[in-house]
């Protein structure tokens, strides 16, 4: 049986089913077995593992995960791909395809029914994500606090660099903080656009997010923590004092400055220089303003 992820086999499958790509769904199918092997390898799967995939396409990555895992559940939004997946993944009875939008499906119930209730506890997300919904999907999975050990995702290279960025770098921002709050982030390797059909306009990267058992920092109000981090990057060139004063209102400028001093942060600093711990301290110091 030939692997799905070769140029010849992929074209054969697409021609057989008369499939045409939809740009609006960000459909770019992988045609390089080495890259696929490296993606699955990054997840450290075992014969007892369960894998959730989002956007399986014609099943190229799904097939490689299925060769190593006990069960694979793939979520596919494009109804036109369902008969193709049924055909291409027929040799893998332990793969289940669910039709629906990953942002709207009940992930918690899916994980519970398809994995937990079946005694599968070593869980990973392994996916080639559509670029246009990368951030919402990652945050949806992390915020659901489902019991995944790791997320291995192929995403746009620039976004991967932002996710893994450290304080003091241009790429560091509220996205870096939001994801690193829940997980340890590591860019595994980059992927050239030539290994896709059709080729995307940008290069890709595979990122590993190892889920933390507890958030990276403790904060009194998690919602406020994220609000403060987003506000601190509203205008990157502005100081943190000016950004937060704009957010909470000019009348609160003195109170914001006092909170910054209480947190041990120089009001002249910019948001990109603050660590997660400093943002947590700042959010706690700003709590009295929020409660007004």
49-53, 144-148, 184-188: the lowest-pLDDT one: 144-148
Which residue in this structure is represented by tokens 């990555």? 61
Distance between CA atoms of residues 273 and 278, nearest Å: 10
For the chain, give every residue range classified as CATH 1.10.8.100. Answer: 222-290
Distance between CA atoms of residues 221 and 279, nearest Å: 12
Class at the top of the CATH hierarchy for domain 7-211? alpha beta
- Residue 199: pLDDT over 90: no
Distance between CA atoms of residues 13 and 15, nearest Å: 5
Alpha-carbon torsion, ordered 67, 211, 174, 244, to 10 deg: 160
Query: What pLDDT digit, counting tens, does each position of 112-133 carry?
Result: 999 999 999 999 999 998 888 8
CATH of 222-290, one of 1.10.8.100, 3.90.1150.10, 3.40.50.620, 1.10.260.40: 1.10.8.100
Q: What letter would DSSP give residue 150? A: E
For the chain, give every residue range classified as CATH 3.40.50.150. Answer: 7-211
Within the chain, where are the H helices? Answer: 7-17, 33-42, 60-66, 82-88, 107-114, 134-144, 157-163, 174-182, 222-232, 240-248, 253-262, 276-290
- Residue 54 is predicted with a pLDDT of 95
Distance between CA atoms of residues 61 and 127, nearest Å: 7
- Residue 25 is predicted with a pLDDT of 66
Mean of the per-residue pLDDT values for the chain?
Answer: 93
pLDDT band at 81 (very low <50, low <70, confident <90, very high): very high
How many other CB atoms are found less than 10 A from the CB of residue 21? 15
- Residue 20: pLDDT over 80: no
Rg (CA), the chain: 21
Mean pLDDT over 11-19 rounds to 88
Angle CA 42–87–92, to nearest 5: 45
- Residue 216: pLDDT over 70: yes
For residues 151 and 140, the answer to whether their CB atoms sit within 8 Å is no
How many other CB atoms are found less than 10 A from the CB of residue 13? 18
DSSP β-bridge partners for residue 175: none
Closest by CA to 61, choosing from 189, 153, 148, is 153
Report the percentage of the chain scoring pLDDT > 70.
98
- Residue 100: pLDDT over 90: yes
The answer to the question of whether 242 is labelled as a binding residue is: no
ω before 198 within 30° of 0 (cis)? yes
The answer to the question of whether 128 is labelled as a binding residue is: yes
Give the SS3 label for residue 50: strand
The answer to the question of whether 55 is labelled as a binding residue is: yes
Give the residue with greater pLDDT, 250 vs 138: 138
Q: What letter would DSSP give residue 209? A: E
Q: What letter would DSSP give residue 291? A: T
Mean pLDDT over 3-23 rounds to 86
Mean pLDDT over 251-266 rounds to 93
The answer to the question of whether 28 is labelled as a binding residue is: yes
The answer to the question of whether 30 is labelled as a binding residue is: yes
- Residue 292 is predicted with a pLDDT of 64
The answer to the question of whether 101 is labelled as a binding residue is: yes
Query: What pLDDT digit, counting tens, does each position of 163-175 carry?
Result: 999 999 999 999 9
For residues 172 and 165, the answer to whether their CB atoms sit within 8 Å is yes
Mean pLDDT over 230-236 rounds to 94
């Amino acid at each position: 049986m030939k692997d799905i992820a070769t140029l010849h086999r992929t074209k054969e499958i697409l021609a057989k089913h008369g499939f045409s790509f939809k740009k609006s769904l960000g459909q770019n199918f992988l045609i390089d077995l080495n890259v696929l092997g490296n993606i699955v390898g990054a997840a450290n799967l075992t014969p007892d593992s369960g894998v959730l995939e989002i956007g399986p396409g014609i099943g190229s990555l799904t097939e490689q995960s299925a060769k190593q895992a006990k069960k694979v559940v793939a979520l596919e939004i494009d109804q036109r791909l369902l008969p193709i997946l049924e055909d291409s993944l027929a040799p893998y009875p332990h793969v289940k395809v669910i039709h629906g939008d990953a942002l709207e499906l009940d992930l918690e119930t899916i994980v519970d029914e398809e994995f937990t209730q079946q005694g599968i506890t070593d869980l990973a997300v392994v996916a080639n994500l559509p670029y246009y919904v990368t951030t919402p999907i990652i945050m949806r999975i992390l915020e659901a606090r489902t019991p995944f050990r790791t997320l291995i995702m192929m995403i746009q290279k620039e976004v991967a660099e932002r996710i893994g960025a450290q304080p003091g770098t241009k790429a560091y921002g509220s996205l870096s903080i939001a994801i690193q709050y829940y997980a340890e982030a590591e860019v595994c390797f980059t992927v050239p656009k030539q290994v896709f059909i059709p080729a995307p306009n940008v290069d890709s990267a595979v990122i590993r997010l190892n889920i933390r058992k507890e958030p990276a920092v403790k904060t009194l109000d998690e919602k406020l923590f994220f609000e403060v981090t987003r506000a601190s990057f509203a205008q990157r060139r502005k100081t943190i004092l000016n950004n937060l004063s704009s957010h909470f209102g000019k009348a609160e400028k003195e109170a914001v400055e006092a909170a910054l001093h209480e947190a041990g942060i120089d009001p002249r600093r910019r948001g990109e220089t603050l660590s997660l711990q400093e943002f947590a301290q700042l959010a706690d110091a700003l709590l009295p303003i929020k409660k007004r």
